[in-house]
A and B are shown apart, each in its own frame.
Chain A
Amino acid sequence: MTNGDSSYPVTERLRARCGDGVIECHAHRGDETIVVRADCYHQAVQFLHDDPECDFDFLSDLTAVDRWKLRQSPRFEIILHLYSSRRNARIRLKTRAQDDAAPTVDSIVDVYPAANWPEREVWDMFGVRFAGHPNLKRILMYEEFVGHPLRKDYPVNKRQPLVEERHIPDDRAGMMF
């Protein structure tokens, strides 16, 4: 707990529902952050969406963090930013994909259809699979691309030319172009 803010109304409601599935929490100026275990993730999202006291009807963002440089495991963290338009309240929900080699979490497209593209982006850039996603394929990079470029161990200047590069001989003097 940080910043001396001791009110955790949403966290407490979620803890009553998910029990020890809530593993961390903190709050800053009334905005709560909750970390849930991966096996409780879908249930927690469903609860935050359905519960009339929470009533988070808008998924404003879904993204991921690679904690590889922190040498932490689980390595991949999924972050949700939820907003309740009726209560004018925000919350940040995090979960951590269990398997570092083949990270997978549940898809929440059935709760928030807006999660469709962000989950594809997270799969494309971080390589986190979403179980139950209706169309999990690359969205920014092309299909032939190898690897997931926002992983911290991906070499940033690696090249994967999609079209064959032109052969340019050393001696250009006699060239047509």
Chain B
Amino acid sequence: MAVDSQGPGFFTSRLSDGIAWARKWSLFPYPFVTACCGMEYMSVSSAHYDLDRFGAAWPRFSPRQADLLMVVGTISQKMAPILRMVHEQMCDPKWVIAFGVCTCTGGFYDNYATVQGIDRIIPVDCYIPGCPPRPETVLDALMKLQANIQASRHTLTGSVQRPPRH
């Protein structure tokens, strides 16, 4: 009887759930802040909206200490290589949130200078629409990302198998 045909066993699935639980409540965001959305990020991080409730309170400004890349603001073509480098320097497992309409799609900057959505250069887990997004939208994205992390399969070696997109 092949073990694989029955999916993960009791111990590995409990282990995966435990790691997922730990990871989703201890996100360390790297705020890649470039533009006006940065003020909205500060507002969400402040006491009034209290990001700490979700375990994502402490921004880390070194990619190696962060596992959640929050891209906050317009990304220009000139800046794109730096964003790509920061993403590559982050250790696995890592997640990316695109914060605001400019990051998601280029916003109203339909021109030569602006990247028309960061998913053209790095993978994105969660998109936050709005110019700027409401703080509630940001918290909603964070909770959706946490649900995504909980639904992923985690192993002790660090690899993450993410749930399929819908």
Residues of chain A whose beta carbon lies under 8 Å from any beta carbon of chain B: 141-142, 149, 154, 156-166, 168, 172-177
B161 in the interface, Cβ–Cβ < 8 Å? yes
* CB under 8 Å from chain A, chain B span 90-140: 110-113, 115-116, 119-125
Nearest residue (CB) in A for B125 is A177
Nearest residue (CB) in A for B161 is A176
Say which residue of A156, A164, A172 sits within 8 Å of B165 (CB atoms). Answer: A172
Q: Which residues of B contact A159 (CB under 8 A)?
A: 112, 116
* CB under 8 Å from chain A, chain B span 72-90: 77-78, 80-81, 84
In angstroms, Cα B165 to Cα A176, docked, is: 8
Given known contacts A157-B112, A177-B125, A162 and B165 CB-to-CB distance under 8 angstroms: no
B164 in the interface, Cβ–Cβ < 8 Å? yes
B162 in the interface, Cβ–Cβ < 8 Å? yes
Taking chain A's interface residues, is the majority helix, strand, or loop, or is none over half, making it mixed? loop
Q: Are A168 and B80 in contact (CB under 8 A)?
A: no
Q: Are A156 and B77 in contact (CB under 8 A)?
A: no
A-B contact pairs, 20 of them (CB 8 A): A142-B77, A142-B78, A149-B111, A149-B112, A154-B112, A156-B111, A157-B110, A157-B111, A157-B112, A159-B116, A160-B112, A161-B121, A166-B119, A166-B123, A173-B164, A173-B165, A176-B123, A176-B162, A177-B123, A177-B162
In angstroms, Cα B84 to Cα A157, docked, is: 23
Given known contacts A159-B112, A176-B161, A168 and B119 CB-to-CB distance under 8 angstroms: yes
Q: Are B81 and A162 in contact (CB under 8 A)?
A: yes
Q: Which residues of B contact A154 (CB under 8 A)?
A: 112
Say which residue of A161, A166, A168, A176 sits within 8 Å of B77 (CB atoms). Answer: A161
In angstroms, Cα B121 to Cα A168, docked, is: 10
Q: Are A175 and B77 in contact (CB under 8 A)?
A: no
CB distance from A41 to the nearest CB of B (A): 30
A-B residue pairs, 6 tightest by C-beta: A177-B123, A165-B120, A162-B77, A163-B80, A142-B78, A163-B81
Q: Which residues of A contact B161 (CB under 8 A)?
A: 176
Given known contacts A162-B80, A162-B81, A174 and B121 CB-to-CB distance under 8 angstroms: no
Q: Which residues of A contact B84 (CB under 8 A)?
A: 163
In angstroms, Cα B120 to Cα A136, docked, is: 32
Nearest residue (CB) in B for A162 is B77
In angstroms, Cα B117 to Cα A159, docked, is: 13
Query: Which of B77, B81, B161, B165 is the most central at the interface, judged by chain A CB atoms within 10 Å of its CB?
Result: B77
Interface contacts beyond A156-B111, A163-B84, A173-B165: sample of 11 additional A-B pairs, CB < 8 Å, sorted by A: A141-B113, A149-B112, A161-B80, A161-B121, A163-B80, A164-B121, A166-B120, A176-B123, A176-B162, A177-B125, A177-B165
Q: Which residues of B contact A174 (CB under 8 A)?
A: 164
